[in-house]
């Protein structure tokens, strides 16, 4: 018997408590119809007592809103109603380009880790073992888990890794900015209500 997250959305900005209770009641009836009663562990809104509200913040995405609800509710208690902007922002050309670059660097990093030699031996600087290249797939010592990259390769690897992390941060920042722009453009037109919490299951 655990707790599972439950939620549903209302396609408009509902602020009235009575109206919200009405939506919850309807949802509970639906859940009863679909899932049956199951002695109090139905894992749906039947095990949620009521609905409380927090309209102090207008969330900028569904996920952000859901996280807030789940962080502020508990099993055998009320679900939480919040408002959020429902905007879908298409991926821009700039983002696609960045994604492609990131993908390429990752594939380069992966290539660096592969053993391509089909003869000879590699020496592990960690444990001193002499390892047959035919038995190695990756440049990792099977005995001590140490890296088999040379010092020079390690440096290149670290540099590329730092580069890809920087690009990933840039990508996140661009997405956030595009989202903010879209929200500013739409205003409160696409604000919806999310009711979420924990059910007993």
Candidate residues 124, 164, 194, 199; the one interacting with Zn ion per rule CB under 5 A: 124
Q: Does 140 bind Zn ion (CB under 5 A)?
A: no
Pairing relationship of beta strands 3-10 and 191-200 according to DSSP bridges: antiparallel
Q: Which one, of 91, 85, 28, lies nearest residue 61 by Cα? A: 85
Candidate residues 2, 126, 173, 189; the one interacting with Zn ion per rule CB under 5 A: 126
Q: How far is the CB of 93 from Zn ion (least distance, A)?
A: 46
Q: How far is the CB of 127 from Zn ion (least distance, A)?
A: 3
Q: Does 82 bind Zn ion (CB under 5 A)?
A: no
Specify the 3-state DSSP secondary structure of 113: coil
Q: How far is the CB of 131 from Zn ion (least distance, A)?
A: 8
Residue 33 makes CB contacts below 8 A (sequence gap 6+) with none
Candidate residues 127, 132, 162, 173; the one interacting with Zn ion per rule CB under 5 A: 127
Sign of the Cα torsion 187, 195, 16, 11 reads positive
Binding residues for Zn ion restricted to 142-171, rule: CB under 5 A = 143-144, 146
Q: How far is CA 94 from CA 28, 110, 178, in A?
A: 45, 25, 11
What residue ranges bind Zn ion (CB under 5 A)? Answer: 124, 126-127, 129, 141, 143-144, 146
């Amino acid at each position: 018997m655990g707790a599972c997250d439950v939620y549903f959305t209302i396609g408009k900005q509902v602020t009235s408590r009575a109206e919200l209770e009405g939506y919850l009641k309807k949802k509970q009836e639906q859940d009863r119809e679909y899932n049956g009663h199951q002695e109090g562990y139905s894992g749906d809104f039947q095990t949620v007592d009521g609905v409380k509200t927090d309209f102090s913040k207008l969330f900028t995405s569904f996920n952000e809103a859901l996280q807030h609800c789940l962080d502020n509710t508990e099993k055998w208690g009320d679900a939480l109603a919040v408002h959020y902007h429902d905007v879908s922002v298409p991926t821009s050309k700039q983002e696609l380009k960045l994604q492609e670059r990131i993908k390429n660097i990752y594939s380069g990093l992966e290539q660096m880790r592969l053993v391509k030699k089909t003869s000879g031996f590699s020496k592990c600087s960690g444990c001193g073992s002499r390892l047959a290249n035919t038995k190695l797939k990756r440049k990792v010592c099977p005995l001590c888990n140490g890296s088999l990259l040379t010092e020079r390769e390690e440096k290149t690897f670290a540099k590329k890794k730092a580069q890809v992390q920087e690009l990933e941060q840039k990508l996140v920042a661009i997405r956030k900015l595009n989202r903010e722009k879209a929200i500013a453009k739409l205003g409160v037109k696409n604000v919806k209500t999310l009711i979420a919490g924990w059910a007993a299951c």
